[in-house]
Chain A
């Protein structure tokens, strides 16, 4: 059973370009989460999606950032008109469907996409 896959692993973009980050969850997982991590810092929650639905996007900047998890295909995190401050590692995680005892299930993380904005 393949783990969570993310691509690309490294992405370099110039200021003003668009960045598209892809995440394929583990087989059988229907919940996807995106996190952002700066060097030496913790994981900042961005968005929680289920198939075709955004469940919680409270961590997403209001402008330039969007996420989707279509019925078919990977989840996409899209950053428009990137700026230097967007440089970070972006991790995707997936979890099995349902809740464990009415609460969050464990999450399995992908290797991350390291975005560098020049």
Chain B
């Protein structure tokens, strides 16, 4: 079945450093979505990418969708303590269900 792999599982950075998490799928995805879950909270939708090679930015966050629509990345420039949390990618399907990666847990040291 469809699987979405995400690395790394954990990332510890000092405030001001950059951070990247990567997502890979075994099959071509219809779309890719990204979510953030703060400690003790629930996942919150960040963005959706649909087109091959698409790049979207939200302030310090840059999201990319690969040309083959099998991989994606989220890059945060100059991390802040408010960026702490777990970032999940999720691959979309034509059946409506999302396939979530395991997530990357980001810790930011002040």
Point out residues on A near B: beta carbons under 8 Å: 31, 33, 35, 40-43, 45, 48, 55-56, 58, 91, 93, 95, 99-112
Contact = CB atoms under 8 A, between A and B. Distances in A.
Contacts, number: 75
A104 B42 contact: no
Nearest to B86: A42
Contacts of A42: 88, 100-103
B21 to A, nearest CB: 13
Contacts of B90: 104, 107
Contacts of B98: 33, 45, 104, 107
Nearest to A35: B100
A105 B97 CA distance: 9
Interface stretch (B12-20, B43-51, B57-65, B70-78): B43-51
Nearest to B30: A103
Contacts of B96: 31, 48, 55, 95, 99, 104-105
A61 to B, nearest CB: 17
B94 interface: yes
Contact of B33 (A33, A55, A104, A110): A104
B92 interface: yes
B45 A101 contact: no
Nearest to A56: B97
Contact of A100 (B31, B42, B43, B45): B31
